């Protein structure tokens, strides 16, 4: 039996706002820095994008992120000390009160930040559970208003998980579509454990690279073309159109099932790439599940889902052409 569609997002968000903490006003004075591009998106979703005083060069280059935060053009890019460590002097010079980073990011002389009263919030990454936890903890850190929005987002995310699981629960293991995901270039991919593996699991895909990296902690890296050709993926999800174009036009890829049957797709990209550490992950596995098993998701309109998501969670009213660009990126 199918799970009915999620009630209008506006109703859910309204329920949280009306049943939650009344008078939860935003902390408009807090100064936030994050060199983590996808975390910039989460901060913006929770209503604190205008509080960013230090950001990422990648985030500043994304059109929808720039539309959401016009002032981002004037926000400094966080630089790295010796090419690999955050420069605490710059963080302090920006008047930063909260610094959001991944746990793996190093800080040169972290004691300087502590002495300056900078609150460093370092989060785990590279898994779906870590992402969901990060949204909730970011909401907790920012205040009651952000916490309510984070809880509404978590409810939406959980419902999409349940919906997709329900639609795919009787899918035989041998009927799962074999998927290869390219990220950054056609021969860079990820296995288990990873965030990419998690969204493929949720969408009912078989990640052909699942076991390719063994004990590699990052479970990611470059692979040989022959390895991909040998497993013959039925669908290829390219992180960007450049990769998809190369795969589709290269004679070396021509014999792969996904190329033969025109099933090389470009991953959606909005405020950030849906397949990465962004809150848009709530749409990623739903999009992929529908792409792989359309007959099981005939009632899911990804254009409508996309329009509603950005309107409710980001306050963006997207045009049809913008939605088309998100779902079928041209670059």
* Beta carbons of 327 and 274 less than 8 angstroms apart: no
Residue 14: per-residue pLDDT: 52
Arithmetic mean of pLDDT, 92-102: 97
Q: 84-98, 103-117, 132-146, 211-225: which has the minimum mean pLDDT?
A: 211-225
How much is the pLDDT for 22?
A: 43
The fraction of the chain above a pLDDT of 90, given in percent, is 86
Whether 313 shows a pLDDT value over 60: the answer reads yes
Q: Is residue 4 assigned to a domain? A: no
* Together in a domain, 240 and 135: no
- Cβ pair 80, 92 in contact under 8 A: no
Q: pLDDT-derived band of residue 26, with 50, 70 and 90 as boundaries?
A: low
Strand partners for 33: 54, 99
Burial 96-125 (b: 16+ CB within 10 A, else e): bbbbbbbeebebeeeeebeeeebebbebeb
Banded model confidence at residue 2, pLDDT cuts 50, 70, 90: very low
Residue 173's φ and ψ, nearest 5 degrees, are -60, -40
Q: pLDDT-based confidence at 25, cuts 50/70/90?
A: low
Give the end of a domain, one of 151, 184, 202: 151
Residue 192 and residue 257 share a domain = yes
Domain membership of residue 157 (yes or no) is no
Assign residue 22 the CATH number of its domain.
Answer: 3.40.50.1980
Say if residues 238 and 186 touch (Cβ distance below 8 Å). yes
pLDDT attached to residue 1 = 39
pLDDT at 3: 45
Domain total for the chain? 2
| Structural domain containing residue 95 | 9-151
Mean pLDDT value across residues 303-313: 97
Asked, for residue 248, whether it belongs to a domain, the answer is yes
Question: How much is the average pLDDT of 267-273?
Answer: 98
- DSSP-assigned letters across all residues of 196-233: HHHHHHHTTEEETTTTSSTT-TT-EEE--HHHHHHH--
Average pLDDT of the chain, as a whole number: 92
- For residues 179 and 315, membership in a common domain is answered with yes
Mean pLDDT of 44-52: 97
Percentage with pLDDT > 70 across the chain: 91
Cβ atoms of 258 and 264 closer than 8 Å: yes
**Structure confidence at residue 80 as a pLDDT band (50, 70, 90):** confident
Q: So what's the pLDDT on residue 4?
A: 47
**pLDDT for residue 115 is more than 80:** yes
182 and 78, same domain (yes or no):
no
More confident residue, 140 or 2: 140
161 part of a folded domain: no
Q: What is the pLDDT of residue 15?
A: 52
Provide the pLDDT for residue 331. Answer: 85
pLDDT at site 13: 54
**Domain identity same for 175 and 205:** yes
Single out the residue of 113, 5, 128, 9 nearest to residue 54, CA to CA: 113
Report the pLDDT averaged over residues 97-110. Answer: 95
Q: Who's near 103: CB < 8 A, 6+ residues apart?
A: 122, 123, 124, 125
- Single out the residue in 151, 182, 207 at which a domain terminates: 151
């Amino acid at each position: 039996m199918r799970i009915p569609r999620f009630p209008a997002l506006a109703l859910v968000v309204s329920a949280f706002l009306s049943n939650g903490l009344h008078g939860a006003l935003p902390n408009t004075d807090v100064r936030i820095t994050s060199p983590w591009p996808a975390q910039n998106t989460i901060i913006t979703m929770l209503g604190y994008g205008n509080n960013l005083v230090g950001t990422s060069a990648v985030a500043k280059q994304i059109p929808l992120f720039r539309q959401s935060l016009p002032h981002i053009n004037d926000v400094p890019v966080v630089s790295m000390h010796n090419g690999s460590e955050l420069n605490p002097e710059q963080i302090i010079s920006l008047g930063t009160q909260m610094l959001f980073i991944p746990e793996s990011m190093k800080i040169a002389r972290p004691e300087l930040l502590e002495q300056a009263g900078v609150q460093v919030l370092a989060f785990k990454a590279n898994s779906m559970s870590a992402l969901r936890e990060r949204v909730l903890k970011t909401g907790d850190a920012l205040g009651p208003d952000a916490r309510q929005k984070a809880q509404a987002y978590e409810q939406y995310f959980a419902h999409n998980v349940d919906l997709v699981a329900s639609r795919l629960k009787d899918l035989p293991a041998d009927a799962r579509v074999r998927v290869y995901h390219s990220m950054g270039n056609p021969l860079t991919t990820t296995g288990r454990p990873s965030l990419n593996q998690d969204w493929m699991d949720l969408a009912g895909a078989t990640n052909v690279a699942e076991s390719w990296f063994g004990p590699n902690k990052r479970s990611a890296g470059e692979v040989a073309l022959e390895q991909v050709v040998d497993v013959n993926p039925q669908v290829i999800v390219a992180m960007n159109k450049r990769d998809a174009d190369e795969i589709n036009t290269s004679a070396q890829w021509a014999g792969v099932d996904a190329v033969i049957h025109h099933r090389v797709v470009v991953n959606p990209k909005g405020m950030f790439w849906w397949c990465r550490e962004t809150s848009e992950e709530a749409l990623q596995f739903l999009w992929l599940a529908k792409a792989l098993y359309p007959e099981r998701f005939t009632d899911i309109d990804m254009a409508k889902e996309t329009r509603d998501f950005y309107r409710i969670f980001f306050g963006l009213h997207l045009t049809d052409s913008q939605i088309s660009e998100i779902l079928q990126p041209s670059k």
